[in-house]
Amino acid sequence: MQLGLINNLTINRFTPPGAFLEDEQGNEVLLPQKYLLDNYELGQKIDVFVFKDSQQRIVCTTERPHLLLGDFKYLRVSQVKPIGAFVDWGLDKNLLIPFSEQICKLEEDKYYLFVLRYDYKTDRLFGSMRVRKSLDSCREDLQGKEVDLLICEQNDLGVNVIVNNRYDGMIFDSNIIANIESGEERKGYVEKVRDDGKLDVRLEPITFEKYDLAEKKILDLLGKNGKLMLSDKSPSDLINKELEMSKRTFKQAIGKLYRHRRIVINKDSIELVTKK
């Protein structure tokens, strides 16, 4: 069994403290009584998260933490103590961030980006702010594909993102077409895989599919509201804010809808064509 991951284990025996679960190699771990369900029975396989309790004993839980081993997440600092900081990761026992794994002074109740790591020497899980060394260089063909993004910190060029919980990416300022905040999780599209394995990312599709999606989004909104207070003369930032698409995509989409007589374009709005 592996600390920090979801393990599929077999219920081997019940005791007053709880149930002991077993892996295929015969290793046992305690599932405390408070996590037992009435329908659990001997020989049943269940998914549990394996970690160490406050006495450094290996235990497991049916609860799922906010991040697993190797995952990246913005977490809230619950305490700062002489041995390090503790963050809320969704379990009763908070996760330790040793001082050696901090890259800035942490403040209680604020959110920071962490990665869950495992120390082979001490056989312990710990959190780290040194996320860059945990990211891989991309060697797969992701160009043009939809990916999962974790929005990270802003820099002089744009916004750093973590792609598919694995790769280092960047959304350049010119491609930021929506309000995005650190810690936000959303979909994105890979524009380019660089030679160093880093990714250039956009918030809208790279292919002509984006125009089809834009048309559908506009028609759905018009169906709900009847009118959108946007037109081909609207400023880019307003279109970005309201629709999360670039002005170019918006103009292409409404142009096609207009040619197909689906909408009317007014001076400061668009609306559906009324069927007679």
Tens-binned pLDDT, residue by residue, of the chain (276 aa): 999 999 999 999 999 999 999 999 999 999 999 999 999 999 999 999 999 988 888 999 999 999 999 999 999 999 999 889 999 999 999 999 999 999 999 999 999 999 999 998 889 999 999 999 899 999 999 999 999 999 999 999 999 999 999 999 999 998 898 899 999 999 999 999 999 999 999 998 887 778 888 899 999 999 888 889 998 889 888 988 888 888 888 898 898 898 888 889 988 899 988 765
Residues 6+ apart with CB under 8 A from 261: 273
What pLDDT score does 267 carry? 87
Give CA torsion, residues 70, 73, 79, 82, to 10 deg: 40
Q: What is the pTM of this model?
A: 0.81
* Judgement on whether residues 117 and 165 belong to the same structural domain of the protein: no
What pLDDT is attached to residue 276? 57
CATH of the domain at 214: 1.10.10.10
Domain extent, residue 171, equals 146-202
- List the CATH number of the domain containing 116: 2.40.50.140
pLDDT of residue 114: 98
Q: What is the pLDDT of residue 210?
A: 80
Q: Does 137 fall in a domain?
A: no
* Residue 140 counted as domain residue: no
Question: What tokens does 206 get?
Answer: 């790279």
